[in-house]
Each structure stands twice: as C-alpha cells, then as structure tokens.
Structure 1
Amino acid sequence: MTQLTPIFTRYWDQPNSWTLETYAKHSGYEGLKKALGMPPADIIASVKDSGLRGRGGAGFATGVKWGFLPPPDGGPRYLVVNADESEPGTCKDIPLMMATPHFLIEGVAITSFAIGCNHAFIYLRGEVVHVYRRLLRAVEEAYAAGHLGKNIHGSGFDLDVTVHAGAGAYICGEETALLDSLEGRRGQPRLRPPFPAVAGLYARPTVVNNVESIASVAPILLYGDEWFSAMGTEKSKGYGFFSLSGHVKNPGQYEAPLGITLRELIDMAGGMRDENHPLKFWTPGGSSTPLFTQEHLDVPLDFDSVAAAGSMLGTRALQIFDDTTCVVRAVDRWTDFYKHESCGKCTPCREGTWWLKQILGRLEHGHGDEEDLEKLLDVCDNILGRSFCALGDGATSPVTSSIQYFRDEYLAHLTQGGCPFDRDASAVFAKENAHA
C-alpha cells in the first residue's frame, strides 16, 4: 500500500497549528531564508527540476509557467494566488489555509522573490469569512516577524501581500475572470492571447497559481527538489491532497504521493460506509471531470494515468457514491450548479447548460423518451470546445460520462415512469408539471 506523506498535515492536530509560533517550531520560513541567498533563476530552476505540476486542476508545470514571464522592463509584475475554491467536492485549499496558512505565505514570499514581484495577492472566496480572518492574521504575523514588508531579512527585497475577498462566483476560479474581479470588474473570462504572463493584473506580467502549488514551494526549497521528485510517479512528481467525501466511513484529507489508487484510499478511509452497498461511481477530480466506476479502482491517481483512462485528475476531489445513489439525480444536481454559475458571456455555455438542465430534470422523473439521451449528447457536443472557457467543457463531463456508463439507468427512469430511487419526488414532479 502506498504510504501517506504528512507534510502540510503533519501538525494539523496540534493546538494553534495556524500560528507563526507553531509554524516556526516546524522549520517555518527556513525555506525563505535559504531562497533569499540564492539567485532567483536558481529558485525557478529548482522548482522546474522538482517536477511540481500545478495543483489547481490543469497540472501545468509550475516552474515552466513562471518562466513564461518576459524579461524585466522596470515596471511591476504580480503574483496572484487563486484561492477561489469553488469546484463541487473540492475541499483542500480551505483546510490548508485554515490549519497552516503560513505554508502559503512563505510560498508566496519565495515565489515573489523568484519572479521579481513586490506585491502579491491572495484571492479568496468571500463566503469563507473565518479563513479570510485567519489569513489576515497570519499576514500580520509575517509582517511583524520581518518575513514580509521592507528589506526582508536584510536582503533588500520588499514584498507586500494583499488578501482579497471575492464576491462569490464559480467563474472566478478561471484565472482571467479572477483577474477581472480583482481589478473591480465583473468576473468574466478574457480573450487570450495575451496570456496573464504577458498582460495579466493591471495589464502587467502576472503569475497565477493555486494555493497548494504555491504552498508546495516552501518545502521544495527547504528539503530540495530531489526530495520532492522522489515521490509520486515519473511524470507526476510529489505529493498532494486527496479529498475523500461521500460514502466512506472516514471522509477527509489524505495527503499522499501522486499515483496512489482509490482502492488504497478507501482502505485508508475505513472502507465504504456500508459493506452491503458497494461503490457505484466516483469523481477523480471534482464534478467537472468525467465519472469513474468500480472498474477504475486501481487507476493510479496521477495526471497521465487518469487522462489515459478517460478522465482528469483535476483537484483530486474524490466524491464517492455507493449503489443507493441515483446517478441521474446526481448529474442533474451538478448541472443545476453549472447552469447557475455560468457567467453568460458565451452562447454555448449560457444556453447549453440551460438546455441540459431542462432535459435532465425531465429524465430524472421519468418524462421524455430515449431520443432525449441523444439530444443531451448533441447539446454537450455543441458546448465542448466551443465555450469561452473551461466551465462549459466541465459541465458536459458528468453528462456524457454518466450516459456512457449508466445508460440503462437513464432508460430505467423512462420505463418505470420515474426515479427508481425516489418515486415520491417523481410523483410530485408529475403533479406540478401536469399542465405542461
């Protein structure tokens, strides 16, 4: 069995784990002190050599992304941390910022020094007020200790960090929509090129990275890139959070090397919640990734293996559903979310998610016919690859994959005149829509 690798989580259970005092007892900010004595180019090279890939979903090489910045021109450049964790099922960044925020702040300081940034931003969901307050307090502690501010540790390097609370929108998890929101505009994706590395925040060169990606920089600098790359798989180096939720006995955060399997994680979580109800389907990276089934239990959870099996590793949000769950209802609820969160900028996503919801709502309660399944796939085909950003693509994933693996369950809703798992709800739906 692949072993857990408690790095971010190794002292989450200690009293006041979020304070600078506790962080300092566990080599806190030693990585920053080491980095300040290195040429910035060597820091970027170390992150590249570690093999760290972005932990926000896409899995792009972090050091390579930093290298896209143009040469300095005397103007400002920015680091923006994407902490707008919104994907259904994803719950890794918020616990990290809540339990050990200084991992992120130290990573911000190291990254900023490496890319020549003197003002960094952490864009956080405004609904998580308790995390916002904790981050603000951690930033205050870092300033007071000289880890942020002017002439950090006598290096001549200055850095200010602003924690910004967003107004709450799934679309702001898309990096360019986040930048628009940070600038005070409505959060909608931008046309690219230019890419943020060339013209990002305030039209200046900008690096946008996920919380876990930036937090991983501090341990890499402290322990070395070879230490990090020794974990994981050949093309997916290191460790990460695997967030188990749903029908397991012990849901929670499991910090393990990339390449671990769901079978191993379920064993670590104590097994399914009820041994009489086996695993039915699951998401490898949140609801916007194609579903997996029991046949995928032994797929290594790394970027390439999951992609080869037909899905995406995404944010490693593992939502586990046993055979008491109606897959049609689950997909209908997810589609309702994407319809609501569509920013409306492009027609395929704005109109397509609305039609997906209408058709799925009927099918769940036994209305319509088998041709509706083909209509669903046709609508998905007109969204996929044609929407302005990845929200539209993500909305199609649970629909197409559920029809692929559970077509018989969709048909059962039609032949049985309603949801086999909840006939009362189907009866209410039929009564309410009798006039239609």
Structure 2
Amino acid sequence: MRHFNNTLLIIAIGFLFSSFCLEKKSKINDKLNLKENTSSTKFIDSISFAFSNSTIKTYQNIVSDSIKNETKPLKKDAYVLSTQYDKLEAVLKKYQKIQKKKLWKNIDIDSATYKDLKPFDSGSVVKQIRERLFVVGDLKQDSKSGLYDEEMMAGVLNYKKRYGLTLNYKLTFDHIKQMNEPIANRIETIKLNMERCQLIPENLVNASDYIMVNIPAFRMIYVKDGVNELTSDVFVGKTWSETEIFSSSMDRVVFSPYWNIPQSIIDNELKLNMASDKNYLEDHNMEWNGGRVRQKPGPKNSLGLVKFLFPNPYDIYMHDTPAKSLFMFEQRTFSHGCINIKEAKKLAHVILKDDPEWPSEKIDSAMSGESEITCMLKNKIPVYLGYFTAWVNEETGEISFFSDVYGKDKEMEDSKTVVMD
C-alpha cells in the first residue's frame, strides 16, 4: 500500500507540473485552457483520497509560485504595441454589432442652413447627436433630450478628444459631417489598421522603450520601461512633402542646433526671397557655409532649441519649433517632412533624466547657447514613424479615428480592389 501511495504521489506531482506547462500554452489557445483545467480538476478529485489536504496544498503552492515568477504583470499605464491588434479587433466586433442592429443613424442637417451648435442650443439635431454619442460610448445614457445640456457637453468633449479635435463645445458642419461617415467605412478603416499592426517592426512589438509618431494623429509618445513618459502634439510633412513611414534608432540629441537648409529649399524658396530682399539672410539669422546656407542657433531657429537624430535615408528627424501657434490647428501638415514637436524641451529632459552627466540645469543651458552641442545617447531609443487612422487607447479601450491625410487608406483599398479584380 505504501508503494502504491508513493506511486500515486509521483503521478500527482508530475501531473500538476505538466498541467502548469499546459496552462502556459493555453494563453495562446483558450480552448486548450478550458479543456486542461477541466481535466486537472477531475484528476485531482479522483486521487485526493490518497493524500492529506496539506500535501495537496504544498504542491498547489509550488505551482502557484512558479506561475507568479513566470508571469510578470504589465504596469498599469503600459503602452504596448503588441496589444493594439487585439484591441482593434474587439472594437471591430462592437461596431459590427452596431451595424447589425442598425443603430448608426444619419444625423439630418442642411449644409445651407446649418449653424454651429453651442451649449444650451436645442432642436431635433441635438437629440440625434446625443443618440450617436450614446451609441459609440461617449455618453453613458441617452436622456432623449433635445437640449445641448451639461451632460451632452461632456460627451462632446470626449468625442473630440478621441478624434484629436480642438477641445471645445462647438459643433461645426464639418464635425457633423464626420459623425455621418457611414459605419461601413469605419469598419473598413478598423480592418485596414489591423493590417498595419502586422507591419509594426518586430523589434518594437514588445519593446519597453520606444518613441512612436502616429502621423495622422499628429501625436508622439515616448515610452520608457513600459510606461508612457510623454505625449506631445506634433506637426508633420505637407501633402506634397510627406513624412515617410519607417523605423530607426535615435542615437543623439543636438542642443542649440544649426539648421542646414536642404538644397531643394534653397533653390525653390530662399533664392527667390534673397533676390527680392538683399538683407533676407541677415534678417533671418542665416549665413553661407561652404556653398550652402544654414540658420544659426537661437530662439528663432526653425529647428527651435533642440533636435533628435535617428539615421534614415530620408533626412527626416524630430525637432523643436518656434512656430507654436501652428499647434492650434486640428490638421497639422506644415513641415517639409520632419517632425515638429510641441513638447521638445520636455522630451530632451525625460530622455536624459537618468544620465548623471546631463542634469536639468546643463540641458537648459545647452538649449540656450549660441553654439551647437551634441549629446550621444548611451542607449539608443527605437523610433517608429507609423500611419494609423484608427487607434485604440491602451487604458480606456476607446477608439480614435483620424483623417487619412496622405490618402494611404484609399491606396490600400484600391490595391485590394485591383487584386480582387
């Protein structure tokens, strides 16, 4: 009998640890997980008569401790690129349900007579907008009221925040036109961006440190140790000088930078300005330098107080800008291709905050100098310039839709049509 009990003990230990291994695999396949958990319960129940409760608990604790050691939970505000596909898929199901139940009703307006809606306006259109805000989740309830009240104000703000719009209570004709985008189009946009998620560079999928610029959102995030350290508005390339989509690694920060003006800008813009104004270079703090023109460091420099370099064949980089007023616009396509960052000074500080050689006072001094100073980063930071017209917030699960500023959604749709034909 003793040998029989020992045999059962060995079998139980083996089963419990094999069950643990299968449980790890089950994270990939939920169906396996259900099946294995059911089998584990039945098997332990069938042999429990041979052991004391304390013996069973001992081996259960061993398994529990092993699971804790193997699975490290993500930090609360982690911004992990690898989860975006799944989050888009979840929202896709939600929008497909809305479509199936025919809850996406058109908001009736007349472009000739429509006037911007403001708080405490009333009418049937307010009631229709309220219903839409409820259907998509910007309002928790639909009071059916036709008054643009405080409850609806909160819903409008949430809607505008999701869409990257100026945060105020005014609803223009363009806002309603945006709301009236057919839900079939929204569903197709979600699917297109799920495909884009599969193109995220492998080294970034599970990275704990990276910088990502979402071009259509006009937004940059810097993630460090799995935590969103900084979010900043940006403006990007004009439609005729698009910001390219690519990945690289930031290797240096340059304070009080010169702007070495590209030859194309010299030929197409500066020469005309110099021809009409002989003092143009001096008035704009520019000088000739070896047959090229450059703008000297200073607060009026087009690159601002700091730039961030990452090797790439497009000569694109990120930098500060003195043109802060441009961040007031909702669609920000103003540059020749580079990324202009609203919070560039903050970005320099958070990148270097753990480097004892670069305390805050030294960073500020370097940014206000008259000569260029380069800081080589001890640890390169992966950079990804991406193009997502639909994106789900990691913390709230809310989806944002952004304008297809470079027409790349249409390109993807057209390419699919060609393949199908």
Per the normalisation by structure 2, the TM-score is 0.27
Which structure has greater strand proportion? 2
Highest RCO, 1 vs 2 (Cα 8 Å, sep ≥ 6): 2
